[in-house]
Structure 1
Amino acid sequence: MSGPPNPIENAYWVIVPAAGSGKRMGADKPKQYLPLAGTPLIAHTLDNILQWPGLAGIVVAIAADDQEFEALTAAQDPRVHRVTGGAERADSVLAALDYLSQLADPETSVLVHDAARPLVSRSDIQSLLNASAIALLAQPASDTIKQSRCSNGKTLVNQTLPRQQIWLAQTPQKAPLQLLRRALQRGLEQCPESITDEASALELAGHAPELVSACRSNFKITHPADLMLAEALLQHRQALEQIQSGTES
């Protein structure tokens, strides 16, 4: 764990839980270190975050035996801090919140962002920062949503859900530091199986986070095919930036 700097107030922090193994990728290393366009996936995510306006710092929760994080260029940035994460996402986020509680005001806004979402747009981050104190990026469902049931070893449709009320949660998810810390602590004590993201812990504590519509490019890299899609989108963004740079010059 890095030593705490001077306390910082009136700015937001970002927590990146990155202690998981990413088993669904079926790779020989944790998902966050798989190459994306020749660079570890988490490096793209951290480089993106470091460009967000008004950022105070980042706390990355890594595995106790992580041997790769220190080699990242972003790891040398003084705004990037690290803590040892836990067995589950919520444990890692709580470890980061415990660390942050020594540095920042209890009302400091904290954004929790997945290491595997490198393509969140700056405009969506600004929308989230402008939203309610408790909020998250999410994608309104566009497909027809089917609820399933099992019967005789088969998976069948149970009912069709109203699509207008369905949102797919993304990250970052935002809340005041101590409010989120208490919600996670209480949720892990009372109903740990229900804590699938920060918003679910806040909901269990009686809060109703605001849903902020986000771009489809903010998807979570979970399966091998997602890496190919992310690389194509990165190349497209880089091409657009080059065109814009040439136009401005």
Structure 2
Amino acid sequence: MNPVIRGPLYAVVPAAGVGQRMKAGIPKQYLTLAGKTITEHTLQRLLSFAPIESVVVAVSADDPWWPTLPVATHRRIHAVTGGESRADSVRNAVAQVLMDGGEDAWVLVHDMARPLVRLSDIQSLLAATTEQGAILGLPVVDTIKQAGADQRIEKTLDREFVWRALTPQLFPAAALYEALSGDLAAVTDEASAMERQGWRPALVAGHSDNIKITVPEDLPLARFYLARQFEEQGGL
């Protein structure tokens, strides 16, 4: 493993949201994808990555679906109560990591709704991280416009310097816990919290099939990508 990572490695998965944009009646992480829930796909990917000591999942206190999943009782899964926002849930989970793994622990924070993350991308992330962490991302290929409040174009951004943020995002647990303090309203991912602290995490290019299932049309796309990954025989 990268010598920068001197302590144990944990995964943190916030999963206390309801996913209203899916309009499914149940939280999107419990929808079925190729015979298993999205949650099972995502956690089994992370559990299959041997360097991860354990996976800490932040779930809602009144979640009736989580206890019914066999993966919930896996010996390397630890559930904690999530918060009102993603950032709150991540902070609660990172607090558990610090109790279990100590001040030198590192965390991979991953979206539960990204069940197609490739293990090779996680390995690339670990190999490329600096002491200020790293995130998976995708360089933008579209022309990107910045809009004004009136929905008119203000300017065209130079796409050479624009990336889409993906997960996992990798940081020292203690530093991330400190960054997730105070006003979290503007924190949309872990990197944005670290940026407020003056950090400049590395960007590591991942695969475009690491999609986040957010709206109904994402499910058939996820089925397509999942089938293609299996056809690759080891492309994960």
Q: Same fold (TM over 0.5)?
A: yes
**Aligned amino acid, residue 166 of structure 1:** V
* Preserved contact between residue 57 and residue 93 of structure 2 (Cα < 8 Å): yes
Q: Distance in 2 between matches of 1:44 and 1:82?
A: 17
User: How far is 1:193 from its partner?
Assistant: 2.0
Q: Distance in 2 between matches of 1:150 and 1:92?
A: 31
SS in 2 for 1:174: strand
SS in 2 for 1:181: helix
User: How far is 1:73 from its partner?
Assistant: 2.4
Q: Distance in 1 between matches of 2:152 and 2:220?
A: 31
Cα deviation code 1:141-165 (max 9, x no counterpart): 01010111243xxx32221100001
User: How far is 1:105 from its partner?
Assistant: 2.0
Match of 1:210 among 184, 198, 202: 202
Specify the alignment match of 1:235 in structure 2.
227
**Aligned amino acid, residue 160 of structure 1:** T
Q: Distance in 2 between matches of 1:18 and 1:150?
A: 32
Q: Distance in 2 between matches of 1:150 and 1:108?
A: 42
Deviates further, 128-137 or 14-23 = 128-137
Specify the alignment match of 1:223 in structure 2.
215
SS in 1 for 2:100: coil
Specify the alignment match of 1:140 in structure 2.
139
SS in 2 for 1:136: strand
Specify the alignment match of 2:168 in structure 1.
172
Match of 2:29 among 28, 32, 35: 32
The TM-score with structure 2 as length reference comes to 0.92
Specify the alignment match of 2:58 in structure 1.
61
Match of 1:81 among 78, 83, 91: 78
**Aligned amino acid, residue 168 of structure 1:** R
SS in 1 for 2:153: strand
SS in 2 for 1:58: strand
Q: Which stretches of structure 1, 4 residues or longer, exceed 3 Å deviation after superposition?
A: none
User: How far is 1:240 from its partner?
Assistant: 3.1
Q: Distance in 2 between matches of 1:71 and 1:43?
A: 11
Cα deviation code 1:155-201 (max 9, x no counterpart): 3222110000101001111111111100111xxx1x42221111011
Q: Distance in 2 between matches of 1:42 and 1:108?
A: 24
SS in 2 for 1:223: coil
Specify the alignment match of 2:192 in structure 1.
200
Q: Distance in 2 between matches of 1:218 and 1:148?
A: 27
Q: Distance in 1 between matches of 2:149 and 2:99?
A: 48
Deviates further, 52-61 or 233-242 = 233-242
**Aligned amino acid, residue 103 of structure 2:** P
**1:124 and 2:125 are equivalent in the alignment:** no
User: How far is 1:30 from its partner?
Assistant: 0.5
Deviates further, 81-90 or 124-133 = 124-133
Identity of aligned residues (%): 44
Larger CA Rg, structure 1 vs 2: 1
Cα deviation code 1:1-48 (max 9, x no counterpart): xxxxxxxx9320000000000011111000111111121111100011
Specify the alignment match of 2:3 in structure 1.
none
* Preserved contact between residue 97 and residue 105 of structure 2 (Cα < 8 Å): no
Cα deviation code 1:187-245 (max 9, x no counterpart): xx1x4222111101100011111111111011111111111100111112223339x9x
Q: Distance in 2 between matches of 1:136 and 1:73?
A: 30
Specify the alignment match of 2:46 in structure 1.
49
The TM-score with structure 1 as length reference comes to 0.88
Higher relative CO (CA 8 A, sep ≥ 6), structure 1 or 2? 2
**Which ranges of structure 1 fall in alignment gaps of 5 or more residues?**
1-8, 245-249
Q: CA RMSD in A?
A: 1.5
